[in-house]
Amino acid sequence: MFADPDLTCDGFLGGRLRIWQPKSGYRAAMDPVLLAAACPATEGANVLELGCGAGTASLCLAARLPGVSVTGLELQPGYADLARRNAAENRVAFKVIEGDLARLPADLRGSAFDHVIANPPYYPASGGTPARDGGRERAMREETPLALWLEVALRRLRPGGWLTMIQSADRLADMLAVKGAGSFAILPIAPRAGRDASRVILRARKGGRAPLRILAPFILHEGGHHARDGDSFTPAAQSILRHGSRLEF
């Protein structure tokens, strides 16, 4: 568990949300905000987030759509506690279940959802330099295979339900290998115009049969390079990151 001196309370969506997160552990930045913005949920839908961490993505989604029902699954007890605290302090009804998606808790095995969202670890199990903080290492480096994240997500969806996932661009081939889903739409996320995409957002429908679509890249920053102090977000990125707008596919 985390003590208050080991935490910071950070503003998201232009200060509409205040999120407690560890100073030295896994810290949410823009990826969970983009994930929430890309989820095509509507009022009254129920949404499951796999690996919810401190709850940032689900709480951003609930801020945009107060009528959705959000449930989160989180492996690490300290982060699950933070997610519950963040939900309570932001007055969001967010059910957080502590458990491992590789051994899904019984109350989730019997549930089905309209949407599943996920921001799985980006880095493979081997290679690279491990993070000093154990919580950050577990959040960022793959322990459960990405294929299992996708399999569990599809099983928890109702027929016709939607999976929305953000991942490192170099894992796209692994994401497209998921069985039982179709109607794939891929949105590359590029730091600047003319730069390679570093992230992709995948949207897929359980049982979908529409042709695969690759959309024009979503550009985060204006200009060809960082030229001044402060952020340089494009108007579209500002609309999502500051105002909680939907990311249109």
pLDDT tens, N- to C-terminus, the chain (249 residues): 899 999 999 999 999 999 999 998 889 999 999 999 999 999 999 999 999 999 999 999 999 999 999 999 999 999 999 999 999 999 999 999 999 999 999 989 999 999 999 999 986 666 556 545 454 445 455 588 999 999 999 999 999 999 999 999 999 999 999 999 999 999 999 999 999 999 999 999 999 999 999 999 999 999 866 656 567 899 999 999 999 999 998
With CA atoms as reference, report the closest residue to 192 among 241, 230, 237.
237
Which amino acid belongs to residue 10? D
- Residue 163's H or E segment, with its range, is strand 157-168
Question: What Rg do the C-alpha atoms of the chain give, in angstroms?
Answer: 17
DSSP for 8-71 reads EEEEETTTTEEEEEESSS----SHHHHHHHH----TT-EEEEES-TTSHHHHHHHHH-TT-EEE
CA of 85: how far to CAs of 9, 16, 55, 96, 204, in Å? 11, 16, 9, 10, 31
Cα distance between residue 1 and residue 198, in whole Å: 32
Its pTM stands at 0.91
Whether the CB-CB separation of 79 and 57 falls below 8 Å is answered with no
* 4-241: CATH, from 2.60.40.1530, 2.60.40.790, 3.40.50.150, 3.20.20.70: 3.40.50.150
Residue with tokens 């051994």: 103
